[in-house]
Structure formats: structure tokens, C-alpha cells
Structure 1
Amino acid sequence: MATMEVILATKIEGLGAEADLVTVKAGYGRNYLIPKGLAHEATASNRRFIANLQAARAKREAEELSAAQEVAAKISGLTVDLTLEVGQGGKAFGAITNQNIHDALTAQGVEVDRRAIELEKPIKSEGEHEVIIKVHPQVEATLKVVVKENA
């Protein structure tokens, strides 16, 4: 297969961030990335402009990190109260999943990705549980979840 090197102009999930020099299939680069303005051909003159793209990337990453730290601080101060349906004999019907936690956070005005909530397994018992939320690759927050039984 024919490949080509391109310089990414924007962050593309699964491929790289701006100012990255990546190798892609020639058709993908010529027919999609370059015409849409998502990448530039890696010519000698274009390689000189990588510094400008790297500056924009550093600024964007710093903004994302500070926003993630603000969200983490907000999450760390919260307590989420959830109820778990319990039948006779203390047997739980269902469980508290990351979707339930996500909905409770959204109701409190905190928006995080559902997949960022790291539950080892669904919660099936009452009490206080600490849940880790990975807000950013470098930032984690701990959320206190209080589960009460509802007979």
C-alpha cells in the first residue's frame, strides 16, 4: 500500500494531535485529510510551520488541563445519593452502574463522560463508596457515592 506523511492541523481521535507528523495511507491523506483542511502535506516548506502548530497545541492542552482540574475540584466536593431497590432477605434488584452515577452528576450540573467513571464492578450494597472519575489523562477525581436501600 502506498503511504504518505502528513502534518496534522487539528486533533484527530486515534491518529494524533496538531503538529504531529504521521504516516497515513495515500488515499486517506489526499482524498480526505488534506481537502478538509485537517492536515497538510509534509513538504519541506510545511515542516517549517510546525512550530506555529505546536504553540497552538500547547495552548489548547493547557486550557484542557485547567478545565479538567476545575471539574475535578468540583467533583471532589460532591456527594451523590442513590437508592438501590432491595427485596425480602436483603437481595438487591439491579445495581448502581456508571450510567446511574453519570445521571446523578448531570442533575447536579457536572458534565463528565460516562466512560470516564471507573467502576470495577456495579455497586450492589448500601453504604459509602468512593468512585474514581478520570476527567483528563493527567487528572483524576474521587466522588463519594452514598447508596441507600429502598425496600
Structure 2
Amino acid sequence: MAKLILTHEVTGLGAPGDVVDVKDGYARNFLLPRGLATGWSKGAEKQIAGIRKARKAREIASLDEAKAVADRLRSNPVTVAVKAGESGRLFGAVTTTHIAEAVAAAGGPTIDKRKVEIGQPIKSVGSYTVQVRLHDDVSAQIDVRVVPQA
């Protein structure tokens, strides 16, 4: 078992600043090469405190506030305009950054792109449902319409 400090959120494992025990292969082949975690040491306590402080600044503070933001997101569909070919196939894909920027442009709350979860890659024009994790107990399903750029 390897003891690591998470530097990014990993679904099903933990949030940035958490100290986790994972199998050696998972650490060596997935978490460390992708930069999602660093090795744990006694001197890393300052690093953990810094990560947690930054996380608190970005996080939605209360459960009630998270529910209110979730209601606003559910009620407002988001439109993302991207370059597309004649058949509706995109040049590239819609990313979490595109979605976070589109939510802010539509007058919605500022959301962290790392909290947006896209189930299947979005590579064609159409309507999609995307999940946004706002709080440990609150997540919102938002409707995303992908349209060709004019």
C-alpha cells in the first residue's frame, strides 16, 4: 500500500489535501503519472495545509448555498457554440472548461471546471446532460446544448 497526498479531486477516492492509502499499482500507474497525487512524507504537512486552504477558498461554503446554486443551474440550460462541420461533427470536443465558461457567460454562478463531470465525450452538435458537483452532498444535472458556431 502506498500513502499519498491528493493534489486534485479523484472521484471515489477523495479531495485535494486528503491523505489516502492506495495500492502500489494504482499509485504508480494512474495517480502519480497524471499529477493527481504526490508522495506522502512527514514534511508534507505544510503542503497539505496549503492545498486545504486553497480548496476552502474555491468551495461553496454551506449546504443551503449549494442547493440554491444547484436550483439555478437546473433551471437555466447552457448553450455552447463551437466549430462544427457540415454533418454536425465537432472539430475537437466540448471540455469542462467550455461548460464552466458558458455557465458564467449565461449569468450563472462561477463554477470550478474540475467539478464538472462529462460522462461521454461531447463530439457532435446536440443536447447533453452534464453533472456538476457543488458540495459533498449536492450535485446538479445541467442541460448543455451544443450548437455550431456562426
Task: Indicate the TM-score class for this superposition, using the shorter chain for normalisation.
Answer: 0.5 to 0.7
Distance in 1 (CA, whole Å) between partners of 2:44 and 2:92 is 46
Aligned residues of 2:89 and 2:124 also touching (Cα < 8 A): no
Distance in 1 (CA, whole Å) between partners of 2:44 and 2:112 is 29
**Aligned counterpart for 1:14 among listed residues 18, 41, 44:** 18
Aligned-pair CA distance for 1:140: 1.0
What are the ranges of 5 or more consecutive residues in structure 2 without an aligned counterpart? 1-15, 20-40, 47-60
Aligned residues of 2:72 and 2:108 also touching (Cα < 8 A): no
Q: Percent identity?
A: 31
Aligned-pair CA distance for 1:84: 2.6
Under a length normalisation based on structure 1, what TM-score does the superposition of the two structures give? 0.56
- Residues 54-133 of structure 1: pairs in structure 2 closer than 5 A: 64-107=62-105, 108-133=107-132
What is the one-letter code of the residue matched to 2:62? Answer: E
Aligned to 2:50: none
Aligned residues of 1:131 and 1:142 also touching (Cα < 8 A): yes
Distance in 2 (CA, whole Å) between partners of 1:116 and 1:75 is 13
What is the one-letter code of the residue matched to 1:112? Answer: I
Which has the larger Rg?
1
Under a length normalisation based on structure 2, what TM-score does the superposition of the two structures give? 0.56
Aligned to 2:24: none
What are the ranges of 5 or more consecutive residues in structure 1 without an aligned counterpart? 1-11, 16-24, 33-62
Distance in 2 (CA, whole Å) between partners of 1:147 and 1:27 is 47
Which string of whole-angstrom CA distances, capped at 9 and with x for unpartnered residues, describes residues 60-100 of structure 1? xxx61111111111111111111231235544211111100
Other structure's SS at 2:98 match: helix
Other structure's SS at 1:138 match: coil
Distance in 2 (CA, whole Å) between partners of 1:125 and 1:27 is 48
Which string of whole-angstrom CA distances, capped at 9 and with x for unpartnered residues, describes residues 25-84 of structure 1? 87778xx6xxxxxxxxxxxxxxxxxxxxxxxxxxxxxx6111111111111111111123
Aligned residues of 1:84 and 1:94 also touching (Cα < 8 A): no
Distance in 1 (CA, whole Å) between partners of 2:111 and 2:68 is 12
How many residues in Structure 1 have an aligned counterpart in Structure 2?
101
What is the one-letter code of the residue matched to 1:77? Answer: S
Residue 90 to residue 146, structure 1, CA distance change in 2 (3 Å): closer
Distance in 2 (CA, whole Å) between partners of 1:26 and 1:124 is 45
Distance in 2 (CA, whole Å) between partners of 1:83 and 1:103 is 11
Distance in 1 (CA, whole Å) between partners of 2:99 and 2:43 is 43
Aligned to 2:136: 137
